[in-house]
Amino acid sequence: MTEASTHHIRFTLNGSEVSADVKANDTLLNVLREQLGYTGTKRGCETGECGACTVLVDGKAVNACLILAPKVDGRAIQTIEGLAKGAELHPLQKAFIEEGALQCGFCGPGMLMSAKALLDEIPNPTEDQVRRGISGNICRCTGYAKIVKAIMKASRQMARVGGEGA
């Protein structure tokens, strides 16, 4: 039986340098949750279908459950823990609260990171673009309508304060 290789990797996590010793057959999701204690990123299906584990790697929304840990050496990773600036919530988070866009909340971290990636790329999306942008994130509670509304609202608010909070 082969032994897994181990790798000393460095990357930035929400802007801070981190390093970790990871096993080849570990995923980014495991490293975040089990090794680094960043449990905001959720574990759902682990097959790329639910989006609960969505994080940004070099600004792009991806499924952390499908990424082998050694692959993120040298990359920039953003998780839900980095969305708020200290005590100041991100406009997306505020809009989700104001619109009641979450119920159980399990899809929230992944949904918010997909929404962030979308607004980073398209600051003023149409409702269709929003729906496409979150089509990789499953919500079992809300029926999506309020989530879409919240993302539209956040995009308007961010436009008003001149791209602040991006």
Ligand X SMILES: Cc1cc2nc3c(=O)[nH]c(=O)nc-3n(C[C@H](O)[C@H](O)[C@H](O)COP(=O)(O)OP(=O)(O)OC[C@H]3O[C@@H](n4cnc5c(N)ncnc54)[C@H](O)[C@@H]3O)c2cc1C
Q: Which residues bind ligand FES (CB under 6 A)?
A: 43-46, 48-53, 63, 65, 102-107, 139-142
Q: Residue 50 Cβ, how far from ligand X at the closest point, in Å?
A: 9
Residue ranges in 46-75 that form contacts with ligand X under rule CB under 6 A = 48-49
* Interacting partner of 156 out of other proteins, ligand X, ligand FES, none (Cβ under 5 to 8 A depending on kind): none
Inter-residue contact 152 to 89 (CB < 8 Å): no
Helical packing angle, 145-160 and 91-99, nearest 10°: 140
Beta-carbon contacts of residue 98 (< 8 Å; ≥ 6 apart): 150, 153
Considering beta carbons, is residue 43 or 153 the nearer one to ligand FES?
A: 43
Diameter of the chain measured on Cα atoms: 59
Instruction: Give the shortest CB-60-to-ligand X separation in angstroms.
Output: 14
Helices (H), the chain: 28-30, 91-99, 108-121, 127-133, 145-160
112 binds, among ligand X, other proteins, ligand FES, none (CB under 5 to 8 A by kind): none
Cβ distance to ligand FES smaller for residue 75 or 159: 75
Positions touching ligand X (CB under 6 A) are 48-49
